[in-house]
Amino acid sequence: MKNDSVIDDPAPLQTSYRPSSFVDRESEREQINQIQENQLRNLFLHGPRGTGKTHLLLDHIEKLPSSINTCYIPCRRCSTQYQALKQIYQSVTGENPGDGHHTAKLQREIQDRTTDVETLIVLDDVDFLLSNDGDSLLYKLSRTNPENLSIVIISSQTTDLSQRLEERTYSSLQPSRIGFEPYSAGETYQVLGKRARDSLKPETLHRNALTYIASTTQNISKGLTWLKTSAKNTEDRITEESVRQTQRQAYQDYVSQQLRYFTQHHRLLHQAIEELEEEHGTPINTGKIYDRYQELCKSESVSNRRLSDFLKDLELLDLVEAKYHYGGRKGKTREIKSSSF
DNA sequence: GGTCCACAGGAAGCCTTGGAGT
DNA sequence: ACTCCAAGGCTTCCTGTGGACC
């Protein structure tokens, strides 16, 4: 790898970096403010990955008065009821409860500690929680100190929450819904351009390079990763040609970043899919993928049943696309195709 | 009409972990 | 130190699926 000579400040190219202003998200920001001002408790934000849902909400939280207690739960890391409750408990009390307690005990503690304090709980990437026992947790939270506790649910997979939750849970939550439209290529260009100006040295990025990235992906996280990978591999000027050359490596960087909190089995599973696609093209059936995973894993492999759940995780991360067949000539299977830039 | 395909995904149970009670 | 209990990770078992083919 070459040195970072075109990068002046690496921070603005990080996906976690929050810029001072947002491109074309004023109406969503306004909606969030209005809902909170009108004392409506719960909120459901949905839209594709990389459209700024999390960033906008974290920005909103930062501006809330310090009297309001906020708990941010990244559900891809806290995907079980216990893990999510543990995180909430930690935010509310400042203490780590450890493991081995009953969920009911943690719940009671949380209820006691939030009785007199306005509290906002954010469940980001809620689909990971819902694929476990999330419904039950949401139901319990929705009945915990309803006067003081608000819940914000963020999803990039679910557009209609009422279809994913039990009726009693949805009716208890009654969330106000805000949809985030995907960015256009022009808006993506603006967002990435601003980050590049804040990060790169002057005149080190060619306009065509940015146009190429923005026309290929409208997912801001992917675009930023691509820009960063290109910058790291360029000595003087990022051009369309250099961006094209780093496309593959940038995607690998993006995958590693997305899978960093998951198991080695998730990574091997993804590797198996990529290898099979390269050898045989797309789509690939799950049976072939499981066989290749076994070969890659050699020992200590998990069962196909477990792997089926891990494949679902890759779907939730938008790293693969799956077409479901519930019978028919192909049998009951999923046809898998990996997504890319 | 019966059989086959190629798993999906639910249910039950096992094992490990860690806190609480005795 | 020992036992009990709950949660989560995981495996095993099993049923269901619907169009193609005989």
Residues A249-273: tens digit of each pLDDT: 999 999 999 999 999 999 999 999 9
Verify that A275 and A236 share a domain, yes or no.
no
pLDDT recorded at residue A40: 67
Single out the residue of A151, A156, A124 nearest to residue A138, CA to CA.
A151
A197 occurs within a structural domain: yes
Verify that A169 and A204 share a domain, yes or no.
no
Say if CB A127 and CB A317 are below 8 A apart: no
Verify that A193 and A310 share a domain, yes or no.
no
Q: CA-to-C1' distance for A101 and C7, Å? A: 8
Cα distances (angstroms) measured from residue A5 to each of A197, A228, A236: 15, 12, 7
Q: CA-to-C1' distance for A97 and C7, Å? A: 14
A4 occurs within a structural domain: no
A117 occurs within a structural domain: yes
DSSP letters, A85-96, are: HHHHHHHHHSS-
- Please tell me whether any atom of strand B lies within 7 Å of the Cβ of A303: no
A19 occurs within a structural domain: no
- Please tell me whether any atom of strand B lies within 7 Å of the Cβ of A168: no
Cα three-residue angle A319-A270-A329, rounded to 5 degrees? 85
A290 occurs within a structural domain: yes
A74 occurs within a structural domain: yes
- Nucleotide minimizing C1' to CA distance for residue A330: B5
Q: Is residue A3 exposed (0-12), middle (13-18) or buried (19+ Cβ within 10 Å)?
A: exposed
A230 occurs within a structural domain: yes
Residue spans of chain A under pLDDT 50: 1-2
CA distance A240 to A55: 28
- Please tell me whether any atom of strand B lies within 7 Å of the Cβ of A334: yes
Q: CA-to-C1' distance for A136 and C16, Å? A: 26
CA distance A235 to A47: 37
pLDDT recorded at residue A188: 96
Return the CATH number at A266. Answer: 1.10.10.10
CA distance A133 to A156: 19
Verify that A271 and A148 share a domain, yes or no.
no
Q: CA-to-C1' distance for A272 and C7, Å? A: 31
Verify that A161 and A250 share a domain, yes or no.
no
Closest residue to B19 (CA to C1') is A100
Q: H/E/C letters for each residue in A191-213?
A: HHHHHHHHHECCCCECHHHHHHH
Q: Pick from A256, A283, A315: which residue ends a domain?
A: A256
Q: CA-to-C1' distance for A20 and B18, Å? A: 44
Q: Pick from A121, A144, A179: which residue ends a domain?
A: A179
Q: Which domain holds residue A58?
A: 26-179
Closest residue to B20 (CA to C1') is A101
Considering any atom of strand C, list protein residues whose CB lies within 7 Å: A 79-83, 100, 102-104, 132-133, 263, 265, 301-306, 326-329, 331-332
pLDDT recorded at residue A2: 46
Verify that A296 and A326 share a domain, yes or no.
yes
Return the CATH number at A105. Answer: 3.40.50.300
A15 occurs within a structural domain: no
Verify that A83 and A196 share a domain, yes or no.
no
- Please tell me whether any atom of strand B lies within 7 Å of the Cβ of A132: no
- Please tell me whether any atom of strand B lies within 7 Å of the Cβ of A290: yes
Verify that A164 and A215 share a domain, yes or no.
no
Say if CB A13 and CB A201 are below 8 A apart: no
Considering its fold, how many domains does chain A have in total?
A: 3
Strand B positions closer than 7 A to protein CB: 5-11, 17-20
- Please tell me whether any atom of strand B lies within 7 Å of the Cβ of A308: yes
CA distance A126 to A164: 11
Verify that A249 and A277 share a domain, yes or no.
no
